[in-house]
Chains A and B, each alone.
Chain A
Amino acid sequence: MTRQKRSHHRLKRAVAPYLYLSPSLLIIGLLMLLPMVTVIAYSFQNSAVLRRDPSFAGLKHYQAIFADPVFWASLWHTLYFTCMSVVFHMTIGMVFALMLNSDRINPTLRNILRVLYILPWLFTAVIIAVIWRLLLEPNGVVNSVLMQMGIIGSKVEWFSSPETALHAVTFANIWAGYPLFMVSLLAGLQGIPKDFYEAADIDGAKAYQKLIFITIPQLMPIIISISLLDFIWTMQVFPLIWITTGGGPIYSTEVLSTYTYKLAFSSYNLSQASASAVVILLISLGLTLFYIRYQKAR
């Protein structure tokens, strides 16, 4: 091989990986990076999108949204909605995974339960929202059952009352989201060597001690990974809240995503909406960096 041929070959080898990566990089660049950068740019412009030559606004829109009490209410609702969802997703997912992994439950029943428990995962957000709107209607099944059981005295307007609306949407979201935890934890449980439990049996461990000293520490990597992902995803939930309550009544279920949407498409204040979107982006980015660092540390 001549020197020229050899250097040509070397160049081809060096360039090849980037050629393979280029289609995906192009798509990500066009569909994700470009809009992201554009939104950031909008947040610093006056009358973004609406005017052909928007002027530079500095941090004006950020100051405006930070001065808006609805923004702070939305942030608080988002945190409540997200934290409650993640905690209960994990708790319910863990309980169901432990049940499905238990030898004490008949294998046929276990298979039936496995299908039943995973059902919420099969529905899209729109269907879940519709199901829960029907169930939680003042004349719906939930009210009727609770009244018959004597738990409530009169019909509760779950989605229409400011006191209950946020809890109701959170509840619906918990119901919709636990299967991810259940499936992940079940896979994790099945990967824990049986020897660990047998050794613990011989050492005299009770069931709760096996859970605390073996099961949970063994599942910890999954619990942390899925919790972080769930946190990132739940923070951005939009359709469920939009369809059930639309952020109301009186902003009581307003979350950052609905707040941003309304700024953009109800008030047509796209610049402020962009500033709000950037805030969501920064929070998500922080969590994502935390997640990546955790994954690297493992």
Chain B
Amino acid sequence: MAEVILENICKTYGNNFRAIDQLNLSVEDGEFLILVGPSGCGKSTALRMIAGLEDITSGSLRIGGVDVVDMPPKDRDIAMVFQSYALYPHMTVSENIAFSMRLAGKPKAERKKRVDEIAKTLQLTSLLDSKPANLSGGQRQRVAMGRAMVREPAAFLMDEPLSNLDAKLRVQMRAEITSLQKQLGVTTIYVTHDQIEAMTMGDRVAVLKGGVLQQVDTPKRLYESPVNAFVAGFIGSPSMNLFEATLKGGELVFRDFAIRLQDAAFAGRPGLRSYEGRKIVFGIRPEDLYDSSLESGRKYQTIPAKVTSIEELGSEHIVHLNIDAVRVDSGDPDAVDDFGLASNAVARFEPVSAVHSGSEIRLALDDAKFHFFDPETHLAI
């Protein structure tokens, strides 16, 4: 077990493309850190650099206090779980798990003992003689975990290990990996593009965009206090609604309506007053928007909106809306599809809501949950 420390890590490819730019991260001993970001943000590259599968252009990387920049992967005391699992199809489950011990020349009896222990932990005992092709996705995933565990490494590196599973199994494996990590207490760095995995699994989450670290924090703080509009838009599903507004006399003025800001909004954000008379990015999460005709929405101020479509999920309604305001792009390349053609906002209503597609409604806003960002830098105010 060990801490993993990345200092000013850069990765530049031959064509001068900088995949990772000055990455600083400190992963505590036993911590479960999630590296998350949209496709192409450099998260897998960062993980592969930690594993030693990609060269580090500059910067320092220490695992358990040892500088490993020039070390081959096998000497870094890490184990990796690949997106494809990389299970050898010609070997049985048992042989796959024991592969690293076999390479290290460990005696057969010792290998068997260790494999049996791991198989018991991962509930693979009855499958030890099967070939990977005969296993389900979830079982393969567990074998890949077993292969990583057998080495008793200082750190686990996982590269989108759940992305090949169907949605239901993913939920189950999410819980399994989290509890296994807690049980083993091994430092884990987990790469995903799925922000639900990021929010539910990690002790802390590092959000990357374009090779640059945006924010590292607990899932709760990332959700509640994103440092910029990108993190605000990326974390949370559906994404936060972001609109352009002008701050005028304590009110947020949109095209055709205005929202009055409470004193508390200014008290918590000393910088907000300096935007008086200027443009500002206003953000509110779908779950902080309410149907004003229901009890839950009555206490808040309202704005006009038109319902464009509704996704009835049983436990909630995802309501796509059009409001008379200019939407701001958070900069997340994967999130453009969140909004329908005619809609520019999303709300999450209780299932008792009777709104229907095409209806004009009053949308209630929880004013304690407003977010504000600078229109130029997109940094949180």
Interface string of B43-76 (1 = CB under 8 A from A): 0000000011100000000000000000011100
- Contact yes or no, B104 A214, CB < 8 A: no
By a CB distance below 8 angstroms, the chain B residues around A220 are 90
Whole-angstrom CA separation of A26 from B273 in the bound complex: 92
Q: Are A202 and B51 in contact (CB under 8 A)?
A: yes
Contact with B along A203-216 (1 / 0, CB 8 A): 11110010001100
Q: When A193-B84, A195-B82, A209-B103 are in contact, do A201 and B74 touch as well, CB less than 8 Å?
A: yes
On whether the beta carbons of A204 and B103 are closer than 8 Å, the reply is: yes
Q: Is the CB of A201 within 8 A of B73?
A: yes
Chain A at the B interface: mostly helix, strand, loop or mixed? helix
Q: B86 near A195 (CB under 8 angstroms)? A: yes
B90 near A217 with CB under 8 A, answer yes
Complex CA gap A218/B86 in Å reads: 13
Please give me the residue from chain A that is nearest to B72 by CB atom. A201
Answer whether A196 and B88 are a contact pair too, CB < 8 Å, given A201-B53, A202-B74, A202-B78. Answer: yes
CB neighbours of B79 from chain A (8 A): 202
Q: Closest approach, in angstroms, between the C-beta of B233 and any C-beta of chain A?
A: 32
For B300, the chain A residues whose CB sits under 8 A away are: none
Q: A198-B53, A199-B80, A204-B100 are in contact. Are A214 and B74 (CB under 8 A)?
A: no
Scoring A residues 241 to 257 as 1 if CB is less than 8 Å from chain B, else 0, what string do you get?
Answer: 00000000000000000
Whether a CB of chain A sits under 8 angstroms from the CB of B151 is: yes
Chain A residues with CB under 8 A of B74:
201-205
Task: Determine the distance from Cα of A196 to Cα of B132 in the docked complex, in whole angstroms.
Answer: 13
Query: How many angstroms from the CA of A214 to the CA of B89 in the assembled complex?
Result: 9
User: Is the CB of B254 closer than 8 A to any CB of chain A?
Assistant: no
Q: CA A217 – CA B88 in complex, angstroms?
A: 9
Shortest CB–CB separation between residue B45 and chain A, in angstroms? 13
Measured CA separation A155–B79 after assembly (Å): 61
In whole angstroms, what is the CA distance A209 to B105 when docked? 12
Size band of the B side of the interface? 20 to 34
Q: Mark B11-53, 1 if CB is under 8 A from A, else 0.
A: 0000000000000000000000000000000000000000111
The residues in B between 82 and 117 inclusive whose CB is less than 8 angstroms from any CB of A are 82, 84, 86, 88-91, 99-100, 103-104
Shortest beta-carbon distance from A237 to chain B in Å: 33
A203 to B79, CA, bound (A): 8
Contact flags A181-206 to B (C-beta < 8 A → 1, else 0)? 00000000000010110111111111
Specify which chain A residues have a CB less than 8 angstroms from the CB of B147 in the assembled complex: 199, 203
Q: Which residue of chain B has the shortest Cβ distance to A217 in the bound complex? A: B90
Q: Which A residues between 215 and 230 are near B, CB-CB below 8 angstroms?
A: 217-218, 220
Nearest-neighbour CB distance to chain B for A294, whole angstroms, equals 16
B18 to chain A, nearest CB (A): 23
Report the minimal beta-carbon distance from A3 to chain B, rounded to whole angstroms: 48
B263 → A minimal CB distance (Å): 56
With contacts A209-B103, A213-B99 taken as known, whether A203 is within 8 angstroms of B151 at the C-beta atoms is yes
Q: Which residues of chain B come closer than 8 Å to A218, judged between CB atoms?
A: 89-90
With both chains docked as a complex, state the minimum distance between the C-beta of A198 and any C-beta of chain B, in angstroms. 5
Task: Specify the chain A residue showing the minimal Cβ separation from B144.
Answer: A199
CB of A120 to closest CB in B, whole Å? 32
The residue among A201, A203, A205 with the most chain B CB atoms within 10 A of its own CB is: A203
| Closest-CB distance, A17 to chain B (whole angstroms) | 33
From known contacts A214-B88, A218-B90, infer whether A203 and B100 are also in contact, taking CB-CB under 8 Å.
yes
Query: From residue B89, how far is it (CB to closest CB) to chain A in Å?
Result: 8
Supply 9 A–B pairs (Cβ within 8 Å), ascending by A.
A193-B84, A199-B86, A201-B72, A202-B51, A204-B74, A204-B100, A204-B104, A205-B103, A213-B103
* Extra A-B contacts (12), CB below 8 Å, given A198-B73, A198-B80, A202-B73: A198-B51, A198-B53, A200-B99, A200-B103, A201-B74, A202-B52, A202-B53, A202-B80, A203-B100, A204-B74, A204-B103, A220-B90
